[in-house]
Amino acid sequence: MKLITLAGPPSSGKTSIAIRTLQLLREEGLRAGVVKFDCLTGRDGERYRAAGLPVLSGISGNACPDHFFVSNIVDCAAWGHEQGLDLLLSESAGLCNRCAPHIRGLYAVCVLDNLAGVDTPFKIGPMLKTADLVVITKADIVSQAEREVFAHRVRQVNRKARILFANGITGQGAWEIGQLWRDAAEDDELTGGRLRFSLPSAVCSYCFGQTKIGHEFQRGVVRRIEIPGLETGGEQEQAQ
């Protein structure tokens, strides 16, 4: 079974692109399914089901979605094998942009939309930097010049990735994406495999459910903003 990770900012068009592409692949005889990782509620599972694609939805809730992803992907892959899938797409929204769900040796896709600012590719971090394919959506409503500048910005961050413009509404570009997904790697070596980028350690008191504001409620590793002229206790401290 091919396992592909698909990541990108919320509302960039991941699900629309995925549905268009997987429907084409299904017409070519491939059995494709999806695992969708969301942070709070999400209705994308229903969209996949409505498109006739087997889907597993996971809500990370209090946990960081990328940690949730890596703690569960092995079981999800097992589910995919059980379903007899030829291709399992793991879709997750990048939330804080610090992490990426991409796995070494498996095909990694990042979806960005062209309405984002010119500096966005630099803010997206590892889910863009370590991707094999970058799909740019919503380019039909921006100028040709902005497309070219945006693609250049993406290349400045990730020179190795393929860049494709696609339209999740009309399906333009989905055929090309599908052909690339057909050639994606198999997932045989998942256990013992490695993420392409480390996930941060979540060890402050807020990670464990604290809601009260103020220094005395902070535990663990606390990073302080630098404010000129104001003593904030250094950039980093180990609170008790």
Verify binding: residue 11, other proteins, rule CB under 8 A. no
Decide: is 180 part of the binding site for other proteins (CB under 8 A).
Answer: yes
Q: Which one of the spans 17-25, 26-34, 45-53, 140-148 is the region binding other proteins (CB under 8 A)?
A: 140-148
| 96 in contact with other proteins (CB under 8 A) | no
- Cβ 178 to other proteins shortest distance, Å: 11
Q: Does residue number 95 form part of the binding site for other proteins (CB under 8 A)?
A: no
Alpha helices in 31-101 (DSSP H): 44-50, 65-82
Q: Which among 85, 100, 91, 94 is positioned nearest to 187, based on CA atoms?
A: 85
* Residue 47 DSSP SS3: helix
**Should residue 200 be labelled a site residue for other proteins when binding is judged by CB under 8 A?**
yes
Residue 215 tokens read as 């220094």
CB of 59 or CB of 95, closer to other proteins: 95
Burial 156-169 (b: 16+ CB within 10 A, else e): ebbeebebbbbbbe
Which listed residue (26, 63, 122, 207) binds other proteins by CB under 8 A?
A: 122
Q: Confirm or reject binding of residue 148 to other proteins (CB under 8 A).
A: yes
Of the candidate spans 31-39, 44-52, 55-63, 148-156, the one that interacts with other proteins by CB under 8 A turns out to be 148-156
What pairs with residue 112 in β-bridges?
136
The values of phi and psi at residue 103, to 5°, are: -115, 135
Q: Is 223 one of the binding residues for other proteins (CB under 8 A)? A: yes
- How many whole angstroms separate alpha carbon 152 and alpha carbon 5? 23
Assess 98 for contact with other proteins (CB under 8 A).
Answer: yes
What are the residues whose beta carbons fall under 8 Å from the beta carbon of 223, sequence distance 6 or more?
235, 236
Which residue ranges make up the site for other proteins (CB under 8 A)? 98, 114-115, 117-119, 122, 125-126, 129, 136, 140-149, 151-152, 155-160, 162-165, 172, 176, 179-180, 197-198, 200, 223, 235-236
